[in-house]
A = this chain, B = another copy of it.
Amino acid sequence: MNFLSDTNPGETLSQIRKNSPLIWNISNFVSMDIAANALLAFGASPAMAHAIEEAESFSQICKSINGALTINIGTFDKYWQECAIKVANEANKYEIPWVLDPVGAGASQFRNKNASELLKLKPTVLRGNASEIISISNNEEGGKGVDSTSSSNEALDAAKSIASQYQILVAVTGEVDYVTDGTKTLSIHGGNIMMTKVTATGCALTCLIGAGLTTNQERMSSTANVMGIYSLAAEIACNNCEGPGSLKTKFLDTLYNISPKYVNEEIKISKI
């Protein structure tokens, strides 16, 4: 047993499977398929809907049945951008937990602006890879810059800086994953580099974190728990595949079959 006494990843998984929470995703064109399938395999109910005309309706549904929202900027254009801002504001109005995935932040001013404007609306969790989180931290006014020597530390420092500034949780994924509120930090070990050979696996994790936010657990714990379950499923899948094609298949199968008991025995979450 490697999980902290105040986290309980098996319970996170059990609650998601029992409640089948609605996860509403403003997703990107590449990740919709694996994100929806990962949510289904995890036990949640995905909904993809990006039309500004129905944002209010989906917000009300999410509120009324204890759902969550995820916003992924991966293939935004002007239309999706407008919708995302509206939706994030409504999530805040209705107190719906939401996760922001700043895909490709740093690659263009357009992406930086999209990430920045959404970040100002204070997502419950910001989830990105090291380069995205570092890029956001460097671009923020008031960000303190990053002086770490290793890229892993650099990403963690950036995550802490963003978390403190916006008073949100920041989850950063890499060789080691972290979730931090700026003061307290949990590290999650596991996973496998081969997961980066399947497109949109990070985007799928973002959606699963959204599912975790619908449980009655404390949010840093539920986020770490989901990240731990994801890493564990990734390890199992990577050890039983022949390449990235079968990895995707095995990963979805594993998410579906993994037991709360096994999760609690094997997961590796530490306070740092």
Contacts and interface: CB of A to CB of B under 8 A. Distances in A.
A145 interface: no
B48 A74 contact: yes
A92 interface: no
Contacts of A34: 33
A75 B32 CA distance: 11
A105 to B, nearest CB: 12
Nearest to A61: B107
Contacts of A78: 51, 53
Contact of A244 (B41, B50, B111, B196): B41
A143 interface: no
Contact of A32 (B29, B76, B250): B29
In this complex, the member of A54, A245, A248 whose beta carbon has the largest number of chain B beta carbons within 10 angstroms is: A245
A200 interface: yes
A123 to B, nearest CB: 21
Interface residues of A, number: 56
- This chain: copies in complex: 3
A25 to B, nearest CB: 9
A218 interface: no
Interface stretch (A93-101, A171-179, A181-189, A253-261): A253-261
A121 interface: no
A30 B33 contact: yes
Given A46-B199, A48-B29, A253 B245 contact: yes
Contact of A77 (B50, B250, B252): B50
Given A32-B29, A41-B245, A78-B51, A57 B108 contact: yes
A244 B110 contact: no
Contacts of A230: none
A249 interface: yes
Interface in A101-124: 104, 107-111
Interface in A237-272: 241-246, 248-257
A152 interface: no
A47 B198 contact: no
Contacts of A146: none
* Across the A-B interface, the 5 shortest Cβ-Cβ residue pairs: A243-B253, A245-B252, A57-B108, A54-B108, A245-B249
Given A37-B244, A41-B245, A46-B199, 11 more contacts: A30-B36, A36-B200, A40-B196, A51-B76, A54-B110, A54-B111, A245-B249, A245-B256, A246-B249, A246-B250, A249-B249
